[in-house]
Chains A and B, each alone.
Chain A
Amino acid sequence: MGRVAIALRMLARDWRAGELKLLGLALVVAVTSVTSVSFFADRVRQALIRDANQLLGGDLLITADHPLDRAFADEAQRRGLAVASRIRFISMSRRGDAAQLTGVKAVADGYPLRGKLRIAPAPNASDAEARGVPPPGSVWIDERLASALDVPVGARLELGAAELTVAAILTLEPDRGVSFFNLAPRLIMNVANLPQTELIQVGSRVRYGLLVAGERESVDQYERWAKTRLGRGERVQGLESARPEIRVGLERAQQFLGLTTLLAVMLAAVAIGLATRRYGRRHLDNYAVMRCLGASQWQLFALFAWEFIALGVIAAALGCALGFATQQLLAGGLTEFVAVVLPPPSWVPAAQGVLLAFVLLLGFALPPLMQLKDVPALRVLRRDIGRPRERQLVSYAAGFAVLTALVLWQAGDAKLGAYVLGGFVGAAIAFAAISYGSLRLVASAGGLGGIAWRYGLANLRRRARASTVQILALALGLTAILLLTVTRADLLAAWRAKTPPDAPNRFILNIQPEQRALLARFFQNHGLPPVTVYPMVRGRLVAIDGAEVSAERYEELRTKRLVEREFNLSFMDQLPPHNRISAGRWFAAADRANGAFSVEEGIARTLGIKLGDRLTWSVGGRSFTAPVANIRRLDWDSMQVNFFVIATPPLLERYPTSYVTSFHLPGSYAPVMNKLSRTFPNLTVVDMSIIVRQVLGVIERVVQAVQVVFLFALAAGLLVLYAALLATEDERVREAALLRALGASRAQVAAAQRVEFVAIGLAAGILSAGGAAAIGALIAERVLNLPYTPSPWLWLWGPALGAACVAVNALAGARAALSRPPITALREAE
């Protein structure tokens, strides 16, 4: 008890004397940034998932080929969840002589639970959010159906035995997937009119669906409950079925948030290390005196350890409180795009914050503290001894190990963590080597110039080690700041550019070989740019390396369904744009002769397909086998036509082939599509604009979130700069006093310090520009999968920031060094 009480008193005294403010501040910033980001990221993630769930129309969807047992809906309601049912089937709709195969969706009040339907009063008129569902007796149809049946709003159409009024044009349907059902023109009706149609008979192909939505926890619990009660032909769909475009967006969103938090934590770690180093150096004498007064090494270590533990607890508590407050603030902004009440924040981020404070202290404050232990008591008699030899390797190794664990934990993405960490370690080594080398070089140029110049350079040389540490810390801090500002903006711009506003928003499927030329002419005649069409063959995967592929082989529901249905295979000689080879190489002449496949990375991982595996496919009752020549990475955000599997042309050419294409249709060209449908009635035109809109929405939201988190990282960065510049302040003050005592004018002392500072600032700035460009390129290329060219601004901002930092410090430092009478400074420095 006694020891802890003394430690607490020491903490209070050190704090009062300003010895711990920097360290405490660094800890608080780190904890605040991590907790608020954890809270916020969790909520953003939930918001994004909810957005993605709009594609489902709810948080969970249970489907069946027969009416679902009421128990599913009852149980959901019992658990406080919202439910809505929908029934989908394909049928002919008619008006006069015109008939069209139509995808019909009968819905009840409450549908959809997530997202909104949008309708317009007439084709090509501006649309608005729909209130509710079509009233009984009316239907909403999409433009294609309106065009195919030539039915205006207000007219009636026949569906089975019922006659229903077209009340609006359906422009947006959140839960529209891309399956065959969805390719047909659409009609939404009220479920109340379903019996009148007399379309639901025994043996009809109908999908019954129950949408469920609510708080995540309850939905998860309900999902588990429902899965145990699924009967034949019934299944549960969750977010995992979201479109790959959105999934990629979500993942990248997480990565951006992770990256920013990561930088904040790393910066805080550097600041803490620097601050403790300074604390240790300033406490050498105190330590020796206490040794002299009879304190044992262990007693002193325990005292300092308790002091730091107490500091950690206080900083963690403060950081958590601030993090929570910030998160509340952010959540306010969040409600703009999430209409639903978010679940209360959990205690996990707070626990993470406390843990982080201690991990940082342990990793970065403990090593310098351990060195204090070795200060000999004799230092009280002879000040020249007992300056601890910096056991740099040992303490850096310890700090590095902790940082690694921290970074991987914080990133939640091993790859991103590894690249950021590796990038910074590489940069640190390069920075240290370059700055130490150039300091030695500067040393040899020492004989020139005036006294200020010579003395400034002499300082750099004499303190080569301390100066290297200073340049290194400054450069790392600036690197992170540049990454957070210039590079981050570039990366976000690159991401935005990947899904440009003119990204393809229409797909045309089912183009017959002889229609390719006709279609090209149609496009030309209507002033649309030419499109590339890709061949498509439907086939089933039969075996991988001779082992039969069956649903039982896979655990995941999504994978089971994937192998049960037919794939869209394509064949081509050239690697399509937006595709990149990630393993193996694109088809060579030998591959073309013998037949080979190219498989998309994600699907290969899901199905367990490796380079060189022999795949057996069945197309139109015939099967063939060929090896996998390469694995491809796809650019999902491009919204281009993408294929999971591509074959060499000779393998597939002889099978029945249709063609597919994607293109951007400007809003004003919508009538052209109606004409296209009339000219080529067999073609299926799919409107992808909702997906494009959704991807763009995700990006915008992430940009907002990253901006907020960025502020913390920036605060941490500024702390590092401050700590780095403070590192040699004591020594500088003493030297300035000495020079002044020897008769140097204030101007001369200030000029000498300026030379030193400017050299340090410029060096750090130039190094950081290089570091930020290299790390940015690494992350863009390897993790975010974005094209990135380092901005030339880096080379301006880096040195400018470096110079600005040291200018501020030089002012403050010079004031500290020159404002007091030399004797005071000398006495304090003793």
Chain B
Amino acid sequence: MSKRHDEPIVRASGLTKIVPNGDATLTILQDIDLAVMPGEAVAVVGASGSGKSTLLGLLAGLDTPSLGSVRLDETELFALDEDGRAALRKRLVGFVFQSFQLLAPLTALENVMLPLELAERGDAQRVARAMLERVGLGDRLNHYPRYLSGGEQQRVALARAFVIRPKVLFADEPTGNLDGATGEGIIDLLFELNSEHGTTLVLVTHDEMVASRCARQIRLAGGRIVDGER
């Protein structure tokens, strides 16, 4: 739990990611310094291969850096082991992905219930149902993902992300698989939910229109921040 509003909720320092590439190495991210304040909405923009998704993975603790550190809500992420980071995610973090990442064998309702169930909450069904109604899918509760349109699937994903009332939401190209109008609807919903819940948003996109909805844009090129660093 963050104690003060003037402390960043996400802070990256000297974040560097180097991967082996044949006999040589490839630097994907280099010396990234970044701070995101509570409640802030930040877009990470850049061309394909600029390192956006890698940065997101590191900020969320899904991946480990070659160098540098990330503090999430005053916890040093990489001082924890993988299970420790998972526990932190369960408490603090929501995700939205480009490819929705819904579980195929589960209905819409069950997909939204999943994070609550993993947290062993007894009211999972009631809360998940309310959340799906909030995103306008109250009549699609028992549909499987394969019978939902792309936009509907992403709305289920948004419901799943917000159902645990995360402090930070990481979104990776949330409109990347959607047509323009549908994408716009999703972004509207995302920002509505974001303000309702007072969530901090870190959004990766290559879509300038989407990025412009955020208060701040951070531009990546060649693994470095070229604009928007604070």
Contact = CB atoms under 8 A, between A and B. Distances in A.
Interface of A: 2-3, 6, 9, 13-14, 16-17, 19, 285-286, 288-299, 376-378, 380-383, 824, 827-828, 830
A298 B83 contact: yes
B53 A381 contact: yes
Given A294-B86, A295-B90, A377 B62 contact: yes
B146 A827 contact: yes
A13 B103 CA distance: 11
B26 interface: no
B93 A294 contact: yes
B90 A293 contact: yes
A827 B91 CA distance: 31
Given A13-B106, A17-B105, A296-B86, 19 more contacts: A3-B120, A16-B105, A19-B105, A285-B103, A289-B103, A290-B118, A292-B62, A292-B89, A293-B90, A293-B115, A293-B118, A295-B86, A297-B86, A298-B83, A377-B82, A377-B86, A380-B95, A381-B62, A383-B99
A15 B84 CA distance: 31
A354 B25 CA distance: 54
B115 A17 contact: no
Secondary structure type dominating chain A contacts: helix
Contacts of A13: 105-106, 110
Contacts of A286: 103-105
Contacts of B99: 383, 830
Interface residues of B, number: 35
A830 B103 CA distance: 11
B95 A293 contact: yes
Contacts of A291: 86
Nearest to A9: B117
A192 to B, nearest CB: 80
Contacts of A290: 114, 118
B227 interface: no
Interface string B207-226: 00000000000000000000
Given A2-B120, A298-B83, A378-B57, A293 B89 contact: yes
A3 B117 CA distance: 8
Contacts of A294: 86-91, 93, 115, 118-119
Contacts of A16: 105
Given A6-B120, A376-B62, A381-B56, A828 B104 contact: yes
A295 B175 CA distance: 26
Given A376-B62, A381-B53, A827-B146, A295 B118 contact: yes
10 contacts: A2-B120, A293-B90, A293-B114, A293-B160, A298-B83, A377-B82, A378-B62, A378-B63, A380-B101, A830-B99
B110 A292 contact: no
Nearest to A287: B103
Interface of B: 53, 56-57, 60, 62-63, 82-83, 86-91, 93, 95, 97, 99, 101, 103-106, 110, 114-115, 117-120, 122, 144, 146, 160, 172
Max chain B Cβ within 10 angstroms of own Cβ: one of A3, A292, A376, A382: A292
Nearest to A288: B101
Contacts of A382: 53, 57
Contacts of B120: 2-3, 6
B101 A289 contact: yes
Given A13-B106, A378-B63, A380-B97, A6 B86 contact: no
Contacts of A292: 60, 62, 89, 95, 101
Given A19-B105, A830-B99, A297 B117 contact: no
**Which of A13, A293, A827, A828 is most buried by chain B, counting CB atoms within 10 A of its CB?**
A293
Nearest to B121: A2
A299 B122 CA distance: 17
Contacts of B82: 297, 377
Nearest to B117: A6
Contacts of B95: 292-293, 380
B83 to A, nearest CB: 4
Chain A CB within 10 A, most for which of B60, B63, B104, B118: B118
B149 to A, nearest CB: 11
Given A299-B118, A380-B62, A381-B53, A17 B104 contact: yes
Select the residue from A296, A298, A299 with max chain B CB neighbours within 10 A. A296
A298 B82 CA distance: 11
Contacts of A381: 53, 56-57, 62, 97, 172
Contacts of B118: 6, 290, 293-295, 299
A114 B56 CA distance: 83
* 8 closest cross-chain pairs (CB), A and B: A294-B90, A17-B105, A294-B89, A2-B120, A296-B83, A378-B62, A293-B115, A377-B62
B44 to A, nearest CB: 13
Nearest to A293: B115
Nearest to B100: A830
B63 A828 contact: no
Most chain B C-beta atoms within 10 Å of own C-beta, residue among A9, A19, A295, A828 = A295
